[in-house]
Structures are given as C-alpha cells and as structure tokens.
Structure 1
Amino acid sequence: MTEAVIPRLALTAGEPAGIGPDLLLALDPSPFAAELVILGDRTSFIERATALGLPFDWPDYDPKRPAQAGRCVLLSMPTAATVRPGHLDVRNAPQVLALLDRAADGCRAGEFAALVTAPVHKGIINDAGIAFSGHTEYLAERVGGHPVMMLTAGSLRVALATTHLPLAAVPAAITPAVLHRVLDTLHTELGQWLKKPRPRILVAGLNPHAGESGHLGREELDCIGPALEQARARGIEAIGPLPADTLFTPRHLAGADAVLAMYHDQGLPVLKYAGFGQAVNVTLGLPIIRTSVDHGTALDLAATGRAEGGSLIEAIHTALDRVQQASTP
C-alpha cells in the first residue's frame, strides 16, 4: 500500500489590521486532512493572540519536513510597521501582497495544493500606490489563466461575467468574447468538480426584465443572446438570458448547477443573503486552486473576539474538496 500524501494548504492572513489574523488564530486545524501553512507576521500573531486570550503554538514552516494533517504551521513574513488592530497602515500594504505572491508561487510550483485567502483591504493597497482591484485579478496576473469569480452557499453557485468594475463600465465590458470565455470555464470546471458532463447554467440578462425585447436595452439581443446560442451549439447548457429579478426563485433554480450574473451586485447580494458567513469565494480558470472567505476585513471587529470563522472553515473544506476532485479521474 502506498502511503497517502498529506496536502499542504497555504492560508494568507490578508490585511493584518483586520479580522484575518483573528480567524486564523481561532481555527481548529484538527478536522482537516491537510497541513495548514499560515502566511503572516509572527509578531502580529503573538500580539493578537494575547489580545484575544488565545494560545499561540504554531511552529515555523519547514518545507523539508513531511506534512502533518490537522495542524497549523507558520511561514512568517514580517510587516513593515507595527500592526494596530482596526487601524490601516499603508506601510504594511506591500506585505499583504508579498503573502499572496509567496503562496501563489508555492501553489504554482506544487509546494502547496491550494490557496485559501483571508480578506484584504483594496483601498489601503491602492492608497499605497499599488494598483489593485482584487484578489481574483491580482492572482491571474501572478499565475496566469482567465479567472472566473464564483461564490457558493450550499447548493447555490453564482458566477460573475464581470467582477470589480464601476457600474457605468459594466455594459461595455460584457462582450461575446468575455461571455464565451466565462461560459467555457464554467462548463469545464463545474463539470470536473461536480462530475457532470453538462452542468446546467442559468444566465441573467443585464437589463431589467432581460431587456424586454429591446425596449429596456439591447444588450440581450445584440450580445448576450447570440453568445448563449453559440455556447449551446458548442454543447454548453446555458439557459437565458433570464430576468434577474425572477431567476433566483426556487422554480428557476431547481436543477440548476450555477447562475451566471452579469455584474457583481446583480448576483452576490442574493447569494450573501442566502448564506453570509458560510459562503465561499471560489476562483475558477486559474492554474491553481484558490478559495476565500465571503466577507471583508471588518476592521471594527479586529481583536474583539466577535469575528465569526464559518466562511473560513467552509473555504478550507471547499479547497480540500477541489484538491480531491482534481486528483480523482
């Protein structure tokens, strides 16, 4: 019998002044069939653990040592400035991205089986003079691929045709090429994940009532509809464009494997209402496996003991599930 290989998951701490460190410190690693490699600043973790009254006993990460399931180890990368919970500091923005770089590179090299990210604060990274629109886009630049952002809550899966854009920029960003790429990625990766040859994808229109035959906008007639016809001709079960205000009703969702929304705030409010705090952000279309929490840095909760770690736990479970599925024929 060949001994099973224990995977290592990289968990980045995210914004050090936010709740990412709290969630990681409160995490019980014992239920996970993986070694959890935490990337963050050791001094900050010790100070946060003291503030929260939590033990801190993570040994240093040693890549030469065999992985041990059900434990946390620390890959320490120091911050430039002392971390004050709840208080952002532009001097620490480069460290946040350095954590991502190290974890993503490790995943790309096969050192880590997957990446799980705690929340970052986009504003402070941009204030530091570093153009940053989000984890999804940043990781794609680092490791390649064509990312598709999808959130899951139970059996509900919502993917996005566009991600972090101003609303006024969305119509121009929805093109046949974008829809083809997103639908191809959803079809392929959902099929592999769910072991279904033709996952059923419901596609929202952009305009109210899906354009109402052109009276409320022509994007459905000129772009979305034709793109879906071409996708169906390629064997993709893409249904729509459907009015977004009724798409999320039980009648429509019955039997659906995913919903494709046209923009961030069309699909995610519904999903987060259905499962906030337990939902998971999954990035498809990358050469690495990446999941994340469904919430932000919650600066007001940092070091208070009131942060809830349900989404992080689900993100780890989802990452491990994807690792297992990827290794199963």
Structure 2
Amino acid sequence: MTRQAPFAIAITMGDPAGIGPEIICRALVGMSDDERSGTLLVGNIDIFARAAATIDARLTFHGLDAPEAASPDSIAVAQVDKPLDIQIPDGEISAAAGEMAFRCVERAVELVQAGQAGVIVTAPLNKAALHAAKRYYDGHTGMLASLTGAPASFMLLASKTLSTIHVSTHVSLKEAISRVTVERIEATVKAGHEHLRQLGRATPRIAVAGLNPHCGEGGIFGDEDERIIRPAVEALQQAGYEVRGPISADTVFYRASRGEFDLVVAQYHDQGHIPVKLIAFDTTVNVSLGLPIKRTSVDHGTAFDIAWQGRADATNMKAAIVYARQLARRLHLD
C-alpha cells in the first residue's frame, strides 16, 4: 500500500460501555489542528459528544458525509448508529455494546480498503460483549483477519524498551504448545522482520524464545526446542534473516531490553505479554501484522469499573496513535 488517504488514521470507538470514547476524546484534546484534520473517528457522534462533556473537553464532531456542517476545528466521524430502542448500560457487558464495537471495526476496515483512511487505531472492546452479540472472535486481531480474509495474523507488542511478537495468543496453554511448529515460527519471524524493515530498520535483530524451561535442558524438560524451534531458526538463518534461538525465556527478554535484540518471538501469550507489560505497561502498543491493512491499538481493556466517570488515562491511546501516524508516514498513507 502506497496510496495517500484523506485521513492518516481512523480510530474506532471500541465498546461504548467502556472507556474507549473517553480516552479517544482525551487524545483529541492534545492534538494539533493538522493532526485532528487527519483523524477520522469511527463510532457514534452522540456518544463521542457525551464523552467530551464527561471530561469537560470543548470538542465538536461532524458526520463524514456532511463536511459542510463542520466548523474549522470539528472532527470527522464515520457514523455507526446505536441499535434501535436499546439502552446500553455504562460499565456493563451487553450484546448491544458488543455489536456496536464490532460494527465500528467493520466500518473502519471498509474505509481503509476504500482508501479513505491509512491506519486503524482501535479502542478496547470486550470479548464477552462480542460473544453476547454472537460475534465469536477472540479479539481484534482475529476479527480483522476474518474481515480482511487474511490467512494468518500476528500480534506484536511494541515499546521503546522491549518488543515481542507471538507465535500464538488467545488460546489455552495446551493449545499454544501444539501451535509451536516450524511453519508458524518461520511465518512469525518473517512478519516481524518485514514490519521492522517498514519502520526503517535495515537488518532487524530477532531472538526466538524457547518453549520449555532452559530450552528443554537437552531434552530433560521437553524436546520441542531442539526438535522444532532450532530447525526453524536454522532455516531462517540460511535464508538470510538475522535471527537467533532458541534462547531460554528466563534471559532473552532481559537481553532484548538491554538492546541486544530488536524483537523477541514469544511462543505463547503470557510469555510475551508479561515482560512487556512489566516494563512498559502504560506505553505498550498492540500492532496487528500479517493483514492487508495496518492496525495499532491500546494494550488494555474496557475498564468497566471506571467507565464514564472522567477518570480514564489516555496515555496508552496516545502511544497507539503516535505509532499509527509513524506507520502512515513510513508507508505514505497520509
């Protein structure tokens, strides 16, 4: 993708019962006029207006199809209507909220595919609400893969100190072990390598974490590291990738945080999420790779316990927006 789009980024509302609308409005308050003009919201104007009032922000919004009604500093919204005659309760799981969250993502994908926006930024949704709406996805990444017809997708957690990409994510630990295959490891490394090159790193340095304690300790604690992971790494090295592994998971993340590697391939969800969130909980950005579109996201949930109270912190949303703008510039989508 190298085309320019009218909007560099499109930000989806997320679950309207959660903190998504509020953190979006907080992020908008800190934007320059140029940044606002290059930002498209995907959601409901009434909900965004309520969120702005909740945080005492002087923000105005207009429909994407009605630019003539906009003031110079108004923010464009691709309208997603509320379900008719259904009240969405604040801070609670509901099918109506799950359906709205899904429709926002669906609409954002359509806009990007039509060349109207460059990179999608997603506010948090709630998986239980999605399932209540009969939208059976494991989260944004799987949903986006389905909506775009992508055969595979990958989750990357990016921070200034440590970044990880995952062989598997939202599956049981037992299922995650079964997904450690030569093919999936190779595909994960290649996706991470290509992403880092798009960001300007000519030769990304990638480490592959082991699966078992001490990489199996010569087979004492399991043979997957020698039987599966090492052959995958060796094949990648022969293909010219700057990759090392398997490296014991109890040291590889520390080594990467000290600057030895640009990216760590984690074998399952918690193996990668725990170290990144420990180091950079507020600023880690969730990035979807392997899709025909680009997407970044906050790396936290809907926070129903503080929703619509004017208390939500937008630090993570701001980081996701900055990362998305960087991607848009690099890929000439803005």
Give the partner amino acid of 2:61: W
The answer to whether the Cα contact below 8 Å between 1:105 and 1:143 also exists between their aligned partners in 2 is no
Q: Give, in whole Å, the separation in 1 of the partners of 2:263 and 2:103.
A: 33
The equivalent of 1:299 in structure 2 is: 304
The answer to whether the Cα contact below 8 Å between 1:150 and 1:282 also exists between their aligned partners in 2 is yes
The equivalent of 2:11 in structure 1 is: 11
Give the partner amino acid of 1:263: Y
Relative to structure 1, is the Cα distance of residues 47 and 251 closer, same or farther in structure 2, using a 3 angstrom cutoff? closer
Matching residue within 199, 202, 220 for 2:225: 220
Q: Give, in whole Å, the separation in 2 of the partners of 1:69 and 1:9.
A: 19
Relative to structure 1, is the Cα distance of residues 254 and 8 closer, same or farther in structure 2, using a 3 angstrom cutoff? closer
Matching residue within 142, 153, 164 for 1:137: 142
The equivalent of 1:98 in structure 2 is: 103
Mark the runs of 5 or more structure 2 residues left unpaired by the alignment: none
1:115 Cα deviation after fit: 0.3
The equivalent of 1:23 in structure 2 is: 23
Relative to structure 1, is the Cα distance of residues 101 and 5 closer, same or farther in structure 2, using a 3 angstrom cutoff? closer
More displaced, 79-88 or 102-111?
Answer: 79-88
Q: Give, in whole Å, the separation in 2 of the partners of 1:307 and 1:259.
A: 30
Q: TM-score, normalised by structure 2?
A: 0.90
The equivalent of 1:318 in structure 2 is: 323
Relative to structure 1, is the Cα distance of residues 113 and 82 closer, same or farther in structure 2, using a 3 angstrom cutoff? same
* CA RMSD after TM alignment: 2.4
Give the partner amino acid of 1:53: D
The equivalent of 2:181 in structure 1 is: 175
More displaced, 140-149 or 262-271?
Answer: 140-149
Q: Give, in whole Å, the separation in 2 of the partners of 1:69 and 1:232.
A: 53
Relative to structure 1, is the Cα distance of residues 308 and 42 closer, same or farther in structure 2, using a 3 angstrom cutoff? same
Q: How does 1:159-174 map to 2 (within 5 A)?
A: 159-174=165-180
Relative to structure 1, is the Cα distance of residues 230 and 46 closer, same or farther in structure 2, using a 3 angstrom cutoff? same
Relative to structure 1, is the Cα distance of residues 10 and 69 closer, same or farther in structure 2, using a 3 angstrom cutoff? farther
Matching residue within 18, 40, 43 for 1:40: 43
Relative to structure 1, is the Cα distance of residues 72 and 252 closer, same or farther in structure 2, using a 3 angstrom cutoff? closer
The answer to whether the Cα contact below 8 Å between 2:13 and 2:122 also exists between their aligned partners in 1 is yes
- Residues 243-288 of structure 1, C-alpha deviation per residue, up to 9 Å, x if partnerless? 1111122477423110110011001111111111211111122111
1:8 Cα deviation after fit: 3.3
Mark the runs of 5 or more structure 1 residues left unpaired by the alignment: none
Q: TM-score, normalised by structure 1?
A: 0.91
Relative to structure 1, is the Cα distance of residues 251 and 62 closer, same or farther in structure 2, using a 3 angstrom cutoff? closer
Relative to structure 1, is the Cα distance of residues 284 and 31 closer, same or farther in structure 2, using a 3 angstrom cutoff? farther
Identity among equivalent pairs (%): 32
More displaced, 104-113 or 260-269?
Answer: 104-113
Q: Give, in whole Å, the separation in 2 of the partners of 1:268 and 1:86.
A: 25
The equivalent of 1:60 in structure 2 is: 63
More displaced, 75-84 or 116-125?
Answer: 75-84
Higher RCO, Cα 8 Å, sep 6+: 2
1:184 aligns with 2:190: yes
Give the partner amino acid of 2:208: V
- Residues 135-194 of structure 1, C-alpha deviation per residue, up to 9 Å, x if partnerless? 111101111333221011114211111111111111111111111211111222212223
Give the partner amino acid of 1:43: D
- Residues 169-221 of structure 1, C-alpha deviation per residue, up to 9 Å, x if partnerless? 1111111111121111122221222331x211011011111111111111101
Q: Give, in whole Å, the separation in 2 of the partners of 1:107 and 1:150.
A: 20
State the number of aligned residues. 323
Does the residue aligned with 2:117 lie in a helix, a strand or coil?
A: coil
1:60 Cα deviation after fit: 1.7
